[in-house]
Amino acid sequence: MSKSCVSDFRRAYHKVRSWEHPVVPSLYRAVRYALLGDTGLFRTHGGWRISRIRRMDEDEQQ
């Protein structure tokens, strides 16, 4: 795994866990984000919100 992939995983895992998401599904979401750049939609904050983390492309940032 490259260094950026590991840091992406770590960042996504901590972000998802901070939203009160269980450990195992958080691991899945972090792996998905590190590999694909998108976690997909998932429930957070005790089921009250639907969240998603996406990596921004250069085209989307402008």
pLDDT digits (tens, 9 = 90+) for 11-60: 999 999 999 999 999 999 999 999 999 999 999 998 899 999 999 765 55
Q: What pTM, to 2 d.p., does this model score? A: 0.83
Identify whether the C-beta of residue 34 lies closer than 8 Å to the C-beta of residue 8: yes
pLDDT at 57: 61
pLDDT at 58: 52
Q: What ranges do the domains of the chain cover?
A: 3-54
pLDDT at 17: 96
Bigger pLDDT: 1 vs 11: 11
- Nearest partner of 30 among 11, 57, 47, judged by Cα: 11
pLDDT at 37: 94
Provide the phi-psi class of 20: left if phi over 0, else alpha when psi is between -120 and 50, else beta. left
